[in-house]
Structure 1
Amino acid sequence: MPTERITFAGHDGSKLAARLDLPDGPVLATALFAHCFTCSKDIPAARRISARLAAMGFAVLRFDFTGLGHSEGEFANTTFTSNVEDLIAAAQFLAGRNMPPALLIGHSLGGAAVLRARAGIPSIMAVVTLGAPADPGHVSHHFEDALPQIQADGAADVTLGGRPFRIGKAFVEDISEASLNAAIGDLKAALLVLHAPRDTTVSIDNAGQIFLAAKHPKSFVTLDDADHLISRPEDAEYAADVISAWVSRYVDLSPPAPPPGAPEGIVRVTEADPGGFLQDVQSGPDHHVFADEPVSYGGTDRGMSPYGFVSAGLGACTSMTIRMYARRKGWPLTNVSVDVSHNKVHAQDAGMRADSKIDHFIRRVRLEGPLDREQRAKLLEIANKCPVHRTLEGSSHVTTELDEPVPA
């Protein structure tokens, strides 16, 4: 996933630091990500979701709000309204590059901001919130002990997430007066609400209020036991999976026609967990699975092993080839299933001359339906002609066995 580091002017002219994550192929749509309160564009959840969307063909802009992360400006002078204006400025920057955003994603207070910002970004087709408050004033509980000082002195230094911030009176007044109900009711975009029932920072009641205030199309998906920051890799993965599956219903991701002679598609494998072996396997824009190793080999067993995928390819191709032949012949084949196991064996054990280790696939085919003996024998013969079988036979030995159906 190529990433472009850019800056653009925020609501007050300050240079805002951003990353534009790009797909390896053509850009099919653009998304804009708003991070959580006092967070940054580089939190793990933002990176993970952005990577998944980029694999689908999205360009994703994630940036630091004014005064945060690597962006210029004074955080003490910002408000909820200025965050919304920063989002609109980001959308205008993208539109200026002929990449108007179709998708808004907001995390926590960023989720409230995208709900408000939608009205100022006409290109938006879909909006996603993660752990968002229904009332922006909710964030004041993070620094409620400092509210009297802020009211008296106009600002106060507070510690949030172990880092010092200066909160201004204008920010407190702005969030206390901000109401989202009208913006949500007039969203004019598909809405996906993601929230964790055990979120102790923003209770799930907020998700219910947002969902009820919205008009259809709208969806709600629970993030189960995720924390507010969606900090665990598996929770960020799940959120990314849900968003990527949901958004394709509302944003057109039709890829342009490939040039003449282009291959059918690309399978891209990307490391998902540098601490283990988990891999993202993306086949074109629409198909995603995990590859992994068993726990006993140092993996997390969240996906098939590499040889599991090879066996799956052999089994799927075998079943398809048998079905194609039976359909063409009009034979009464009601169901096909194929069990494939893989081992390393000595070549001599497989009836070959060289005494070296080779891959040995055992394939058991089950054919169901009122087939006669000759038909079953012919379909077993056809199984050996599947393209993947022929590919593997170039360097592997494939044994095919017929698994008799259990009598009814």
Structure 2
Amino acid sequence: MALAQQNPTSEPQRVIIPNSHGEKLVGTLHESGTRGIVILCHGFQCSKDYKLILNLAVALENAKISSFRFDFSGNGESEGLFQFGNYWAEVDDLHAVAQHFRASKREISAIVGHSKGADVVLLYASKYSDIKTVVNLSGRYDMKAGIEERLGKDYMERIKKDGFIDVKGSGHFDFRVTEESLMDRLAINMHEACLHIDKECRVFTVHGSSDETIPVEDAFEFSKIIPNHKLHVIEGANHIFINHQSELSSVVVNFIEEALNQF
């Protein structure tokens, strides 16, 4: 089904959307004149301007598909406090963004997330059934994994003792992991969440075979339990697809185009 035409513009537009807590979420709209819009979600300690996210927005724009990339609360230009866990809070941010565009008579064609953002879009699909195309890029299946590498071997003892752990993040960005935020992450059960994804929802997982942050085995676990699922492994690609941006953009755009053509 052909998508209704909006007013296309060649210049990206800055858009500010309040979340459920009244915090301003800042994003960039790439308008291609379509009623449908793809929402792009960044990963941990990243932003809407991360190269992978920006490249996807440009690729979608070249395919005449509108997209919106935004900063989750506490990240980038958006208001709020940065937190280690808060997966469900980011799901709420995504829902606020989706509702904003629906109020403007737009349709959400797909939600795309990378790394932590990938888990957010999957959790969104497990809670809501209003978006039928979901793209999971390098998402984590086992939420208990990867914490020791970031916080240290004795992280549980330290956080029980002090109530927090201060971490030296990437790009000289320091952050504090509280016991509450750690428990928030450990409470996330991706297996259980994926069992609640509607069978009509098309899920596309893309993962690099050489992912150094989240093993490619996680992608195969998603493939086992999500009913309407397609898996694409990019040989030799790392967690951020640094040398495989073209293939990543190509397979994601193709999947979204195929999904749009099914309507």
TM-score, length of structure 2 as denominator length: 0.87
- Give the equivalent residue in structure 1 for 2:36: 29
User: CA 1:245–1:68 in 2, change beyond 3 Å: closer, same or farther?
Assistant: same
Alpha-carbon distance in structure 2 between the residues aligned to 1:88 and 1:28: 18
User: Contact conserved, 1:109 with 1:136, CA < 8 A, in 2?
Assistant: no
User: CA 1:102–1:144 in 2, change beyond 3 Å: closer, same or farther?
Assistant: same
- Give the equivalent residue in structure 1 for 2:124: 117
Match of 1:51 among 49, 58, 82: 58
User: Contact conserved, 2:18 with 2:96, CA < 8 A, in 1?
Assistant: yes
User: Contact conserved, 2:151 with 2:165, CA < 8 A, in 1?
Assistant: no
Per the alignment, in what secondary structure is the counterpart of residue 250 of structure 2? Answer: helix
Alpha-carbon distance in structure 2 between the residues aligned to 1:71 and 1:15: 6
Q: CA deviation at 1:100?
A: 3.1
- Give the equivalent residue in structure 1 for 2:170: 161
Alpha-carbon distance in structure 1 between the residues aligned to 2:164 and 2:21: 20
Counterpart mapping for 1:325-344 below 5 A: none
User: Contact conserved, 1:5 with 1:18, CA < 8 A, in 2?
Assistant: yes
Determine if the alignment matches structure 1 residue 97 to structure 2 residue 107. no
Q: Taking every aligned residue pair, what percent have the same amino acid on both sides?
A: 22
- Number of residue pairs aligned between Structure 1 and Structure 2: 249
Counterpart mapping for 1:7-406 below 5 A: 7-23=16-32, 26-76=33-83, 79-145=86-152, 146-162=155-171, 163-188=173-198, 189-216=201-228, 218-232=229-243, 235-252=244-261
Where in structure 1 are there 5+ consecutive unaligned residues?
255-408
Task: Give, as a single letter, the amino acid of the residue that structure 1 aligns with 2:219.
Answer: A
CA RMSD of aligned residues (A): 2.0
Q: CA deviation at 1:121?
A: 4.3
Where in structure 2 are there 5+ consecutive unaligned residues?
1-9
Q: Which runs of 4+ in 1 moved over 4 A?
A: none
- Give the equivalent residue in structure 2 for 1:313: none
Per the alignment, in what secondary structure is the counterpart of residue 181 of structure 1? Answer: helix
Q: CA deviation at 1:168?
A: 2.2
Per the alignment, in what secondary structure is the counterpart of residue 186 of structure 2? Answer: helix
Task: Give, as a single letter, the amino acid of the residue that structure 1 aligns with 2:202.
Answer: A
User: CA 1:150–1:159 in 2, change beyond 3 Å: closer, same or farther?
Assistant: same
Task: Give, as a single letter, the amino acid of the residue that structure 1 aligns with 2:174.
Answer: P
Per the alignment, in what secondary structure is the counterpart of residue 145 of structure 2? Answer: helix
Task: Give, as a single letter, the amino acid of the residue that structure 1 aligns with 2:30.
Answer: D
Q: Which has the higher contact order (CA 8 A, sep 6+)?
A: 2
